[in-house]
Structure 1
Amino acid sequence: MLKPKDVKDYFLSYPEATQHAMNQVKAVIYKVVPEAEESISYGIPTYKYRGLLAHFGGYDKHIGFYPGAKAIEVFKDEISGYKNAKGSVQFPLDQPMPLDLIERMVRFRLEENTANIKAKKE
């Protein structure tokens, strides 16, 4: 795949089922942070507000969600049923997206980013 020019272009390069899952993830991010800035970074959709909220990407059999290493550590028990690594978790496309979990991870990142800004001002 050529480098997408924007998130819409990225989504359109995937089958409808993958697009649907990615739209669900995107909707959760905007539900938590309506002011989030959307871009393509590292070749995948990226959302920032007061710092990185998360990246995510479509793959043949899963959505890769990248909220950072600390979020993965905090939610390690809840993501134990999914393939995961230091800063990522894979949500299979043949299962419903765990939207509540994704929402809580994004809220965690928002709180973490806000705390980091406050700490820098002190």
Structure 2
Amino acid sequence: MQTIDAYIATLAPMQQEVAQIMRELLHTAAPQATETIAYNMPAFKQNGQVLVYFAPAKKHLGFYPTPAPITAFAAQLTDYPTSKGAIQLPYDQPLPVKLIKQIVAYRIQQVTG
């Protein structure tokens, strides 16, 4: 894949919808970031560094903000399965828009600070 459009086109309809919502949310949260594909996933990059990645899975949207935000926002992430660098956002729950924006702002501060 070379573009997020091409990536999204390969997804099932429900995954396309969620991926497009996440894409638009990330544009709002990081208006100076650019889209890219990294590790075969959609990603947003700023100051030469990837801020976040995302990728639909069978039952959740994988959100990959790197390890530091997962530690920093641990108290707010208790409702979501997490690992060192990933957050699983189940399709049967609304996206946590405010939390995603806070995590992206944290990452922007990391790469521009």
Give the TM bin, normalised by the shorter chain: over 0.9
Poorly superposed stretches of 4+, deviation over 6 Å: none
Equivalent residue letter for 1:10 = Y
Equivalent residue letter for 1:68 = T
Matched with 1:46 is 43
Deviation at 1:39, TM superposition (A): 1.0
> C-alpha distance in 2, partners of 1:43/1:77?
30
**Which structure has the larger Rg?**
1
Q: Aligned pairs, how many? A: 112
* CA displacement 1:67-115 (0-9 Å, x = unmatched): 0100110011111111100111000111111111111100110111111
> C-alpha distance in 2, partners of 1:94/1:108?
26
Identity %, equivalent residues: 29
Matched with 2:13 is 16
Task: Please list every run of 5 or more consecutive structure 2 residues that lacks an aligned counterpart in the other structure.
Answer: none
Matched with 1:67 is 65
Matched-pair contact (CA < 8 Å) for 1:54–1:106 = yes
Matched-pair contact (CA < 8 Å) for 1:30–1:36 = yes
For the pair 1:77 / 2:75, whether they are aligned, the reply is yes
> C-alpha distance in 1, partners of 2:109/2:68?
12
> C-alpha distance in 2, partners of 1:78/1:84?
11
* CA displacement 1:2-41 (0-9 Å, x = unmatched): xx23111111111222112111211121112222111111
Equivalent residue letter for 2:6 = D
Normalising by structure 1, we get a TM-score of: 0.86
Which of 70, 86, 92 is the aligned partner of 1:88?
86
> C-alpha distance in 2, partners of 1:77/1:112?
20
C-alpha RMSD of matched pairs (Å): 1.1
Normalising by structure 2, we get a TM-score of: 0.93
* CA displacement 1:42-80 (0-9 Å, x = unmatched): 010011112221000011111000001001100111111
Matched-pair contact (CA < 8 Å) for 1:25–1:102 = no
Matched-pair contact (CA < 8 Å) for 1:24–1:99 = no
Equivalent residue letter for 1:105 = I
For the pair 1:57 / 2:66, whether they are aligned, the reply is no
Matched-pair contact (CA < 8 Å) for 1:56–1:65 = yes
